[in-house]
Chain A
């Protein structure tokens, strides 16, 4: 398997605080990789560094063979990386459908500015109205994929929390990425819901042939879903390996999972 993303010696300081220090790892094409670690370990910072929200202090991020370090977020999205956020960031006053359409626009610009302002006459069908219509159909595809097709016309902030998370995934998928970053997709869900979500993520990953990189604290979801895990603590690498290896790693058990983790599983 080739690497979809290679991260080399990545570091980020905020003033005197070292958030991420010298991380090096690969995300292989087509795998689901997880990054775990205690709160404040620097997991979300890694996401922000990959997606250009922050500029790294040192190190490189290589995506599909190209150096994308320090590029602007919208440029990175264009290369095929999409993400969701730990604290849900939807376009609250737009409908679920429009949230997805906003993301579709990246790959399907249906008309230009002159056409938008001059040619959209009342009651007369034209390029703009046709374009909008076809975007709506495309957007429905993604809403249905995450199972909220019936909520298309509900305002994003009126959706229940769990569905907002799904809508965020739908919006990310509408960017048609090859690498999907999920920041705590199961946050605030009960064990049953989070296992449902795990199945959904797996299903989407296979269907769209995605590489997935996720942050999560629900260990049953992580162990079930991930092919590969990377563990951070205080901004540094603690361990890397398969879920089975990580569960057996004494350093991880001590720092994060807890000594009784294996026992509790059986």
Chain B
């Protein structure tokens, strides 16, 4: 595989790791965030500081980066979610949190302010990223298809009814936020050690918006949808590299097209399964050979 393709693939999977987490939070629990870049930043800085300044091995650093992001999510999550902020107010709170985190990173001595942390070792190789991507997806899938996922969906569908089914809104929302932050932290750790250079202004609300856009475009209430959207969104800028600045326009155009033609997202509430692919393949094959539908 060429170095270039490999690079695009790594970035796509790193992106997908964060998006999987956000999909659990936004798609399944029904809360919007415009500040998840902050968790990516925390993961990136935690891992970078551990490997660069303390000589920590990479994989434990990635895990600690995830845990650190998770811990910080409790700091923002506990007050806002306990106050039962309505969805849109919560979103504004995350927006503010994202900006505050960036300013904080610009001013802390250990993050070396606006200069950032250059010269990180490129540990994020395809196999490691792939293994973590599979692992995160596996955990997310198990979470979503368990009683915890069911509670999250209940909260998304109707939080009054969920409460009257004995579900504690605060616990469910905080659990999902924590999970999404851990994923973002892991994604950040990989991003830092792929680009080998981080500085605060890499983690703006543009990145937060793109993460949320991937979830919405992929399908709220689907895991595979946002994953595919994340992979596609990472590849599009590369494919459109020839178009230069116009690719941002194309990017926006694609989002608008999805909203117009498939407001429920590419996958809606459905999942792409191996069984589904097989059925679709049989259906297609039957059509092609002209022997009628598979069903």
Q: When each residue 70-98 of chain A gets 1 if its CB lies under 8 Å from chain B and 0 otherwise, what string results?
A: 00111001100011010001111110001
Least CB distance from B160 to A in Å reads: 6
Given A74-B168, A102-B151, A103-B165: A89 and B160 interface contact (C-beta under 8 Å): yes
Answer yes or no: A255 CB below 8 A from chain B CBs: no
Shortest distance from the beta carbon of A36 to any chain B beta carbon, whole Å: 22
Those of B143-165 within 8 Å (CB) of chain A = 143, 145-148, 150-151, 153-154, 157-158, 160-165
A91 touches B154 (CB 8 A): yes
Q: How far is the CA of A111 from the CA of B147 in the complex (A)?
A: 8
Is the Cβ of A102 less than 8 Å from the Cβ of B139?
Answer: no
Bound-state CA distance A171–B113 (Å) is 54
Q: Which residues of A are found within 8 Å of B163, using beta-carbon distances? A: 53, 72-74, 77
Binds B, one of A5-13, A114-122, A194-202: A114-122
Q: How far does the alpha carbon of A90 sit from the alpha carbon of B146 in the complex, in Å? A: 19
Given contacts A91-B154, A117-B142, A117-B143, contact A102 B165 (CB under 8 A): yes
Query: Considering only CB atoms, which chain B residue lies closest to A128 in the complex?
Result: B146
The number of residue pairs between A and B whose CB atoms lie closer than 8 Å in the complex comes to 93
A240 to chain B, nearest CB (A): 27
In the complex, the chain B residue whose C-beta lies closest to that of A81 is B164
CB distance from A79 to the nearest CB of B (A): 10
Contact of A175 among B142, B166, B175 (CB under 8 A): B166
Quick check: is A113 within 8 A (CB to CB) of the other chain? yes
A109 contacts partner chain B, Cβ-Cβ < 8 Å? yes
Whether the Cβ atoms of B158 and A110 lie closer than 8 Å is: no
- A116 near B148 with CB under 8 A, answer yes
How many A residues touch B, CB cutoff 8 Å?
Answer: 34
Q: How far is the CA of A116 from the CA of B138 in the complex (A)?
A: 11
Q: Is the CB of A93 within 8 A of B150?
A: no
Alpha-carbon gap, A111 to B149, bound state (A): 13
Q: How far is the CA of A103 from the CA of B163 in the complex (A)?
A: 10
Q: Collect the chain A residues with CB atoms within 8 Å of residue B77's CB.
A: none
Contacts of A93 in B (CB 8 A): 153, 157, 221, 269
B167 at the interface (CB under 8 A from A): yes
Indicate whether A51 sits within 8 Å of B164 (C-beta atoms), given known contacts A91-B158, A93-B221: yes
Q: Which residues of B lie under 8 Å from residue A92 when comparing CB positions?
A: 157-158
20 intermolecular pairs with C-beta atoms under 8 Å apart? A74-B164, A74-B166, A74-B169, A77-B164, A77-B165, A83-B164, A85-B164, A90-B157, A91-B153, A93-B157, A94-B150, A98-B150, A102-B150, A102-B154, A102-B165, A102-B167, A105-B167, A116-B143, A117-B143, A128-B146
